Amino acid sequence: MKSVRFIARYIVGIVFIVSGFLKAVDPVGTALKVNEYAQAYLGTGFGSYATWIAVALCAVEFLTGVCVLKVIKFRFFSLIALLLSLFFLVVTFVSAITGKVSDCGCFGEVIKLEPWPSFFKNVVLSALALFLYLNRKKARPIANRFWEIAYIFAYTVAIVALSVYALKRLPPADLTDFRPGRDLMVSDTTALVKYKTEILYSKNGKVQKFDLKHLPDSTWKYEKTISTVIEGSEKYAKRMSFMLKDAAGEDVTKSVLSLPNPIVMVSVYDASTITEEDLSKLKNLADSLDTELHKAEVFLVSALTEEQTLALVKPIADAVEHEKLSDIYATHYDESKVLPFDIVYSDYKTVITFNRSNGGATYIKNGQILRKWSASAYSNKKIIKALSEDYTLVAVRSAAASRIFLIVSLIVIILLVIILRVISKLLYKAVVNLEEITE
């Protein structure tokens, strides 16, 4: 039985560590999945609170895995492991029966499991967690109360810090459908999934949905944007399709991606967090990439309505008009105009997957995604430096960095937990034996 407990503890611990870590690396993606589940089963999402729910969920999963594997507060965390396993078991079973959620999101964007495989995985995990809980009294502590609390605090701070970093910057490992190296020009019939974008507005305590062509007057307050599948199926799509539209709703994806110059796209999916500094950076970037020495096409990719987008960039339009440089609202294809940047539109889910950072920049050449920067990290200098490098090497380095980070981080974390467990256990035994001798 001891060997069975050992195997069960390692399986449950490692699964929870990997699951929590992979979701913590991309808290925005985890928040999308939280809202997807809430929308499917509760009829409404959690809005901006989903991000902090996601951070908390990642921390709880990761900490549960560490404490089960390391045998810290084992009676408590074996119960948490069991409750989480049973909760995931029920959720994935309902998803498998109803088909409302196609990807469980158990391991973030790294490992995508359909509901039935995920359900059977949770059956095994629940059985092992139940076995550990029933045998919780046989677990032996590896440290005193002070060090147990110290370990819990340290691991919690570490995993939350990782999520906060990913929120402020970008996920240190980008494994989304629009990760560096993805060729957006290559057609994939399995990726032909189209979304319907609906905007939620509230007035006098009443919340109502509107489509992009029928928006309410200014007395209504904007709440959030919802994207739902209207054509195709995410269940069978190997990856998301990438589609750009102009203000008239015409598909301009191919014409934009076929431009001979490098392309820099700045993504916006939430107007409320875009500051004047962000707008200033965007205008300066567009100006700096419109010279003979540094030439690139700059686009603003918006998940907002045309009205919201134009209102957002009005300070730039005013500045451009003041400088008598150009008309910000003219189309890119009017060769008589010299524009700071052009505006194209896509659905909310595409834009937030394209670049997790609201206001972040993405470098594309020959239809291939090469590199990304968060809104706070990109600068003219960094982007111009990337434009001057061999673009094939830029893509390779970006893709390799994600894989190396994930593999090395998980190996280091698991080894560190195991090594610290062995050291703590030996020290704890030595201290107990010394106390017994002195008594």
| 277, 284, 320, 420 from 313: Cα distances, Å | 12, 13, 11, 53
Predicted pLDDT of residue 2: 84
What architecture (CATH level 2) is domain 189-389?
3-Layer(aba) Sandwich (3.40)
pLDDT at 229 (0 to 100): 61
Supply the pLDDT for residue 355: 95
Q: What length does the chain have?
A: 439
Instruction: Write down the pLDDT at residue 439.
Output: 56
pTM: 0.79
Residue 328's pLDDT is what?
Answer: 45
Domain with CATH 3.40.30.10 in the chain: 189-389
Residues of the chain predicted below pLDDT 50 = 189-191, 235-237, 325-339
Q: Are 318 and 286 in contact (CB under 8 A)?
A: no
Residue 322 exposure: Cα atoms within 13 Å on the Cβ side:
6
Question: By the 8 A CB rule, do 288 and 264 touch?
Answer: no
Q: What's residue 227's pLDDT? A: 62
Element (H, E) at 330: none
CA dihedral 110, 115, 118, 120 (to 10 degrees): -160
Contact 110, 87 (CB under 8 A): no
